[in-house]
Structure 1
């Protein structure tokens, strides 16, 4: 693994010393720190005092009539949450799947999601926001979580306040902000572990004046890849066998050439490696009590590698975490984001906010799409060599939101707002597919060049809560959204099988044309435009001093759009019926929050790579007809006393049934039946009534830790974190055991020592201590008629390490 950041580790270690301070800890310790005394670790004794912004105003979690999971910085730290996928076990119904060909993470919540929502075309069903700024592309879910003040996961459609593409829910990340009054303080941490894992992070608060402060945070994480390279010498047939296979395929002895083992990758960076860094500079200007302005710039770079899909049944004599690789992994991504929030208290009863953001992303990658499943019998027979390569992807987006809201105690709490968002994206994605090896003949190859794809979205919204009495409240909300999407000049180029053109894999420098063997397979120019109204109706009431009951009907939607061949697809719409309860016990030391929901989903968008009847390929969208129905129950129990802390997260989804879709196809699943001519694709199957993927019937996460007080005043804290899930399908095809993750348990253990003055700590951990193999996706290759090999993406194997941290 590359060690280009070793100087960063040394500088952090010598200047800041190892450690971390949780953003939640800082408010409790800022006064002591500004006076130069030792920081004191904050333990939240009153769980019912946790604040959330799910309704776009600060309210206590236990008095917020929304199904929302609030994840504190302490939990993020102790669970080693570094990416969005690491959140999944902490939130009921949340699942994450890594997509190797684009190096992204796709999310499913309450059974609703789409594994192929990973390109410039597709939008996610779970919207993500950082400091209120929407992150439109799936790449945002692959970045590092840096210096966070907390995470809120809003479950169920959030179409009124949070907008389009929050069909299944929204995730709101809050970064740690500068503090003018806290003085100078900071934190740092270093860690090391298996697979040459190394990490370092630090943050410092810088009060500049009595009206201005800054905060600087940096992080770097890296580890070697989990997937070893298989030795082709032990797998390839003899030269005589190769020649016999080649001649049997119609080749001539004069054109025969032995397979060169060097076409297989046997060294260098491995798949499933991490090499990511990020830095953020934040500023707070507060010239008076009525106005404040938070501004930040964050830069993220990724030089890791994509995640490889592994054979579910490895070859005899080969390790499970290995593959026969003929395409070296490559990932190169840069992302810069500017975020701004201004808050102005107009008077004692009214506040105006302006939230704006700008992001510029660029990326390149390549991925071994054939997954090394087949061993070639000759240089041009017996296998497929497929490289999925992003030559470039450039995404630019910006947004503006204006909110006017009531503040303080009012009979009517209200908020009105306006939103505008814009995207300008371009991408080139090449897929060379060769018979046998890269030196064989062309099976098919294509290039998808989209020079300009734009998204123009605007909305106005309002929501009001009427306090009918001291204990009853009625809420209503409306949002009107208008979306326009354009593909300008997009072309799909397919191989034209011209015998006069040399059959070589398409290169990054190749300009597709008749001269290079290509013809236009799809003209993708198109324009989509539509508007939609989403709404919310809710009633809630207090149950004594420590309870809340609510019932709601809410809607969400994801806009339609354009796809390959310029075809349009319709928006999807979800109506959610929900009743929920929130209770606090033991003077706020225990909380229990639950929700029962029924989702009625219309025109659910499914996208997948498909093959057209003429043999060319593209990305196709289908709207599921009828109603896709989901029924579920979820519950979160949290307990915290002086020395004991426990959490239980439960999800139960007994019904998750697709509507009507007769012609579902995917190139990730070879061997599907031939499709009817009217379908427009070569192979497909009827998935009507199938179960939704990534929706286990039952899931339970349990977390427990206890502080042991030592004679020297220090604390020793063992921690257990485990998740159990019943079996779940991995695609809408429901194709049997290979297309399923069976029931599993996956657990983590850690042991932390905190020194008596709370100035430093050391933590040893092991994650996935059972070394379980948990699939998050599936695909299959057809080896012979009726004979298939399934491949899957997997959660990481067992890893272990040690962390050192300090507060100052």
Structure 2
């Protein structure tokens, strides 16, 4: 085993705080197991200023990179049990994640900028995600397992020059672990078990095939039971006499009991998979071919399957006698998602000063789901009255995407560091999404129902970009960059079908095998065929300087861009742009054992795109887009402090967003918030309100995460490492409506604990953990229902309750 791999293993296997990737400043004493797999027996003090990142699409030291970037290594991902992108939120200043149950996705907000309804084949996110440099365009990509990662970089602020469209607020770059040609055969494996019948297993191993070729194979499976119990209808449903009385009082009865049916308790789900369950698997096969020092080719195939269940919104105040984590459910949860991805990167060193790279990717995603959109809030008084049955059902969704990027850049010491590139991306998506809404129960009369059938929606994106850094002197650098993007989005043959209220047609919920047409009670409510095409430049200007040998100051102005597009009825919406003004600093202290990075920023956002499910004045439903007028303004400060000395590791991650003011939007509507005032005709909405100047959601004034661990060296040579991680967030709005306590998450503190034992030879380890120790009920979203008595009941998505378990890992 060569020294390079020893040092690599030391860096990957140490426990450390987020934002730091450790590198050895002294050679560690290493013992090799018989298999040849490296395993450090004794760790020396590490430097925190040796971290390298690729935020500028070239490898540079984190402390010398004038970008607000958080670098998180594989070991931190493991020790903080980061399974999905939502779990990253406590490790990155200003990052928030919101679950969207009806589509089973996670939407992201960064520095106050995001959109809860940036989901499905329609809406693009404000935070772009990349895996090995390949862009993942749909929100479903944020729901996958983080398998065998090498590290994660979160770039805060618009990254439109180098990383492209849809990185309005920032970008997250995931780097997978790569094969190692010279390291020999080695690997690791891990199993775990915990409450809610949680089980998990993962493994990865390196396969050297020849002196020029190696492979790496990794697999993972994670599952746990659902957190949401099923409530029994007994004791909640009205008596037969009360049902008859309520039915007689309804217009559907005609004043007689001729068509009366008692409520069937059997329609309520009592068994099977629960909501908020996990059942996810992933596997990746990677290959590295390096026939010479000048050329290498990384190629991977990844498979991801999700057979869990969607996350359910819960009543903020449960009904009397019912547990908080429970609901009266009449639509069983269902989720079936499969993703297949190929990623390729070729790097060719043309000479000592120039490198050519070609990055390409292909993804095919398919998914189906069922979700109880009424979430059991209103108990029916008869089979046609009071309660509402609503099933949000993705009958099928198929998304395919291709992307290619070629870039040419300078390497090595240069007076002028430069990069030039071209990008092409293409999507071909289709979906059918049904929404049956019935009065009372699923056997009642139709309130409204529709089917959204989009047979072909395409996206084409072209871009040219370049960036250069001029070294004005040994300590001053000036950077300029620009990107030209052209986007074309087209809906071909999309139709929204709405209920025509034909009394001659049986009023039953639409089935997946029924195509809507006039013969079964439907009429076309909107034709969505349309085309959007527009170009947009983005740019960057930045000045940075060294402050002695251990400090960096920078000031930048940068822009981000998200394309416009088409929406229901073929209406177009405008692109959004963000201009970010930022001043930042990066300092290293104590001979590299402490780093302190900070940034203050001001964002000026034009034409902010907000999308939401809405009701039109004619009673039909759809997904509507609004461009916020004027300027949406955000002012914030963030800082990260990391310290490591011998056996102690400590991190503070702080974010403050005192100003987050929405621009002008007079007519804002959302079906997730029933009971909004009626709207004037010119709004094209049934209900809406003026949200101009409101606070942005998911942007607490203050957020603080602290992580500390200490290693105790035992007499037998083993190590015992307790770790505590705690996050505080001040209160925050959960929507741009700002509707009061039900639309708000109050201030909270959430803590995680773990205790890890590593045996003397580092061949195996055991870790016990508790997450959300105090069992806090933390809302990530909100909505409300208008009840028959005129009251309003709020519901929310919540982070997981208290979980605990044990992990066992081995190196071989």
Shared fold, TM over 0.5: yes
1:317-466 map, 5 Å: 317-466=321-470
Q: CA deviation at 1:530?
A: 0.3
Q: CA deviation at 1:72?
A: 1.1
TM superposition shift of 1:35:
7.4
Change (3 A) 1:373 1:426: same
- Please say if 1:25 is aligned against 2:13: yes
Give the Å deviation of 1:239.
0.8
1:167 aligns with 2:168: yes
CA distance, structure 1, for counterparts of residue 235 and residue 271 of structure 2: 16
CA distance in 2, matches of 1:577, 1:44: 37
| Post-superposition offset of 1:74 | 1.2
Q: Which residue of the partner structure matches residue 519 of structure 1? A: 523
Match in the other structure for 1:3: none
* 2:775 counterpart residue number: 771
What does residue 640 of structure 1 align with? 644
Matched, 1:255 2:259: yes
Change (3 A) 1:100 1:661: same
Residues in 2 aligned to 1:609 and 1:22: alpha-carbon distance in whole angstroms: 50
Greater Cα shift, 245-254 or 765-774: 245-254
Contact 2:398-2:431 at 8 Å conserved across structures: yes
| 2:699 aligned residue | 695
Q: Could you tell me which residue of structure 1 aligns to residue 304 of structure 2?
A: 300
Cα 1:784–1:376, aligned 2, differ >3 Å: closer, same or farther?
closer
In the alignment, the residues of structure 2 paired with residue 625 and residue 803 of structure 1 have an alpha-carbon distance, to the nearest angstrom, of 51
* Partners of 2:637 and 2:655 within 8 A in 1: yes
Q: Distance in 1 between matches of 2:208 and 2:552?
A: 40
**Aligned equivalents of 1:31, 1:46: Cα separation in 2:** 22
Find the aligned partners of 1:504 and 1:784 in 2 and give their Cα distance: 22
Distance in 1 (alpha carbons) for counterparts of 2:425 and 2:44: 40
Whole-Å Cα distance in 2 between the matches of residues 386 and 71 of structure 1? 41
Instruction: Give the structure 2 partner of residue 105 of structure 1.
Output: 106
1:662 alignment partner, one of 666, 670, 682: 666
- Give the drift of 1:109: 0.1
Which whole-Å CA distance do the structure 2 matches of 1:656 and 1:265 have between them? Answer: 42
- Give the equivalent residue in structure 1 for 2:506: 502
Q: 1:586 aligns with which of 590, 597, 606?
A: 590
1:8 maps to none
Q: State the secondary structure of the residue aligned to 1:233.
A: coil
Residues 472 and 342 from structure 1, CA distance in 2 versus in 1: closer, same or farther, beyond 3 angstroms?
same
1:566 aligns with 2:573: no
**SS of the residue 2:258 aligns to:** helix
Supply the distance in 2 between the matched residues of 1:81 and 1:570 (Cα, whole angstroms): 36
**Contact 1:364/1:391, CA 8 A, preserved across alignment:** yes
1:116 aligns with 2:117: yes
Query: 1:25: how far off?
Result: 3.5
Question: Does the aligned pair in 2 maintain the 1:22–1:74 contact within 8 Å?
Answer: no
**SS state at 1:800 partner:** strand
Alpha-carbon distance in 2 for matches of 1:301, 1:512: 30
Cα offset for 1:676? Answer: 1.2
Counterpart mapping for 1:58-137 below 5 A: 58-137=59-138
TM alignment of 1:677-756, pairs within 5 A: 677-756=681-760
Match of 1:36 in 2: 36
Question: CA 1:294–1:658 in 2, change beyond 3 Å: closer, same or farther?
Answer: same
Partners in 2 of 1:388 and 1:90 — Cα distance?
33
Q: Is the 2:118–2:611 contact (alpha carbons within 8 Å) kept by the matching residues of 1?
A: yes
2-structure distance, mates of 1:403, 1:126: 22
Match of 1:51 in 2: 52
CA displacement 1:61-99 (0-9 Å, x = unmatched): 000000000001111010000000000000000000000
* Equivalence for 1:5: none
Please name the residue that 1:674 is paired with.
Answer: 678
Matches within 5 A, 1:140-289: 140-250=141-251, 251=253, 252-289=256-293
Counterparts of 2:373 and 2:287 in 1: how far apart (Å)? 44
Q: Which of the numbers 620, 623, 627 marks the counterpart of 2:624?
A: 620
Cα deviations by residue, 1:384-436 (Å, 9 ceiling, x for unpaired)? 00000000000000000001000000000000000000000000000000001
Q: Partners of 2:801 and 2:679 in 1: how far apart? A: 39
Q: Within 2, Cα distance between the matches of 1:253 and 1:576?
A: 65
Deviation track 1:575-629 (CA, whole Å, cap 9, x = no partner) reads 0000000000011110000000000000000000000000001000000000000
CA drift of 1:234 comes to 1.8
In structure 1, distance between residues paired with 2:654 and 2:125: 24
Describe the superposition over 1:81-135 as per-residue Cα deviations: whole angstroms up to 9, x where unpaired: 0000000000000000000000000000000000000111100000000000000
8 A contact 1:669–1:779 mirrored in 2: yes
Structure 1 position 189, deviation (Å): 0.1
CA pair 37-146 structure 1, distance change in 2 beyond 3 A: closer
1:703 Cα shift? 0.3
In 1: Cα distance, 2:742 partner to 2:288 partner:
53
Deviation by residue 1:274-313 (Cα, 9 ceiling, x = unmatched) = 0000000000000000000000000000000000000000
Residue 13 of structure 1 corresponds to: none
> Does the CA-based 8 Å contact 2:329-2:372 persist in structure 1?
yes
TM-score by length of 2: 0.96
Segments of structure 1 that go 5 or more residues without pairing to the other structure are 1-20
Residue aligned with 2:67, SS: coil
Distance 1:525 1:149, change over 3 A: same
Which residue in 2 is equivalent to 1:556? Answer: 560
Deviation for aligned residue 1:24: 2.0
- Return the alpha-carbon distance in structure 2 between the equivalents of residues 31 and 420 of structure 1: 48
CA–CA distance in 2 between the matches of 1:504 and 1:786?
Answer: 27
* CA deviation string 1:639-689 (max 9, x = no partner): 111100011000000000000000000000000001111111111000000
Between 1:387-396 and 1:674-683, the stretch displaced more is 674-683
What are structure 2's unaligned runs of at least 5 residues? Answer: 1-8, 15-22
Q: How far apart in 1 are the matches of 2:809 and 2:390?
A: 45
Instruction: Determine the C-alpha separation between the residues in 1 that align with 2:811 and 2:640.
Output: 31
How far apart, in 2, do the equivalents of 1:38 and 1:591 lie?
28
CA 1:532/1:549 → structure 2, altered by over 3 Å: closer, same or farther?
same
Residues 33, 183 of structure 1: 8 Å contact kept = no
TM-aligned CA deviation for residue 785 of structure 1: 6.1
Q: In the alignment, is the contact (CA less than 8 A) between 2:33 and 2:763 conserved in 1?
A: no
Distance 1:43 1:205 in 2: 26
- Equivalent position of 1:10 in the other structure: none
Distance 1:23 1:366 in 2: 44
Helix, strand or coil for the counterpart of 2:246? helix
Q: CA deviation at 1:36?
A: 2.7
Q: How far is 1:566 from its partner?
A: 0.5
Q: Aligned partners of 1:256 and 1:243: how far apart in 2?
A: 7
Instruction: Output the CA distance in 2 between the equivalents of 1:647 and 1:742.
Output: 25
TM-superposition CA deviations, 1:297-350 (whole Å, max 9, x none): 000000000000000000001000000000000000000000000000000000
Q: Indicate conservation of the 8 Å contact 1:71/1:151, yes or no.
A: yes
Q: Distance in 2 between matches of 1:77 and 1:654?
A: 33
Between the aligned partners of 2:235 and 2:412, the Cα distance in structure 1 is 73
